[in-house]
């Protein structure tokens, strides 16, 4: 039996569709910025269906954050992989990719950080920490390949630049934040060997 077939009733597909639509809507409006009823209307699904798949609004939020974190960090990892062998090029690729993201219409900062900023429950905070750890792993890897004396420390500094650029781009103006963070990152990288 194939995993899924056609355009028919298929719980897995329904779940995925809810997840994708909810990701966009909750990012746009904020987690507390729309109720479950309005969410279901915009998704085009009944409340019963949503609750059967995700149990609660918090459950949906959790799934949304996790999927978004994986997609985002995976996207950055691809940018690094496509940048060749030079760690400096890889690092520049990270910030160039971020710059693309910042310039996309509807950019509102990091969804995980936004969620953690005002939604204090355990699960959201844990998801945000996992997300930042994914970033940190990527950046520490670049630092290590560049032969930094303190790859862990440099990785943390690069993480600070990534998150800082995202916050500044979201709340102070997109223009140049990614490029400025990239230039700063390259200076730090060069100075750390």
Q: Give the CB-side neighbour count of residue 19, counting CA atoms within 13 A.
A: 19
141 binds, among DNA, a second copy, none (CB under 5 to 8 A by kind): none
Among 21, 30, 42, 51, binds DNA (CB under 7 A): 51
Question: Are 61 and 26 in contact, with CB atoms under 8 Å apart?
Answer: yes
User: Is 163 near a second copy (CB under 8 A)?
Assistant: yes
25 binds, among a second copy, DNA, none (CB under 5 to 8 A by kind): none
Q: Could you tell me how many residues of this chain bind DNA (CB under 7 A)?
A: 27
Tokens of 25: 């809507």
**Tokens 């710059």 sit on residue:** 99
Q: How far apart, in whole angstroms, are the C-alpha atoms of residue 161 and residue 168?
A: 10
Among 41, 137, 153, 193, binds a second copy (CB under 8 A): 153
User: Is 20 near DNA (CB under 7 A)?
Assistant: no
Among 20, 28, 38, 86, binds DNA (CB under 7 A): 38
Burial class (CB in 10 A: 0-12, 13-18, 19+), 54: buried
User: Is 52 near DNA (CB under 7 A)?
Assistant: yes
Q: How far apart, in whole angstroms, are the C-alpha atoms of residue 143 and residue 42?
A: 44
Tell the smallest beta-carbon distance from residue 48 to DNA (Å).
Answer: 4
The residue (of 53 and 132) whose beta carbon lies closer to a second copy is: 132
77 binds, among DNA, a second copy, none (CB under 5 to 8 A by kind): none
Tell the smallest beta-carbon distance from residue 112 to DNA (Å).
Answer: 19
User: Is 47 near DNA (CB under 7 A)?
Assistant: yes
Tell the smallest beta-carbon distance from residue 77 to DNA (Å).
Answer: 32
Q: How far apart, in whole angstroms, are the C-alpha atoms of residue 125 and residue 161?
A: 20
Q: Could you tell me how many residues of this chain bind a second copy (CB under 8 A)?
A: 46
User: Is 114 near a second copy (CB under 8 A)?
Assistant: yes
Q: Give the CB-side neighbour count of residue 36, counting CA atoms within 13 A.
A: 14
What are the b/e assignments for 20-48, b being 16+ CB within 10 Å?
ebbbebbbeebbeebeeeebbeebebeee
State the residues that interact with DNA by CB under 7 A: 1, 5-6, 8-11, 13-14, 32, 34-38, 44-49, 51-53, 56-58
């Amino acid at each position: 039996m194939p995993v899924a077939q056609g355009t028919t009733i298929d719980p897995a597909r329904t779940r995925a569709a809810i997840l994708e639509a909810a990701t966009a809507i909750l990012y746009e409006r904020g987690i507390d910025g729309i109720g479950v009823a309005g969410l279901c209307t915009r998704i085009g699904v009944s409340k019963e269906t949503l609750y059967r798949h995700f149990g609660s609004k918090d459950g949906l939020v959790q799934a949304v954050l996790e999927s978004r974190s994986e997609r985002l960090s995976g996207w950055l990892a691809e940018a690094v992989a496509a940048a060749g062998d030079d760690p400096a090029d890889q690092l520049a690729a990270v910030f160039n990719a971020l710059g693309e993201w910042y310039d996309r219409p509807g950019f509102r900062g990091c969804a995980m950080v936004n969620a953690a900023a005002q939604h204090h429950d355990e699960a959201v905070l844990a998801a945000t920490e996992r997300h930042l750890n994914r970033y940190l792993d990527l950046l520490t890897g670049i630092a290590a390949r560049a032969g930094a004396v303190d790859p862990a420390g440099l990785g943390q500094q690069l993480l600070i630049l990534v998150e800082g650029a995202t916050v500044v781009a979201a709340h102070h103006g997109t223009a140049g934040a990614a490029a400025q963070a990239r230039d700063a990152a390259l200076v730090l990288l060069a100075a750390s060997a």
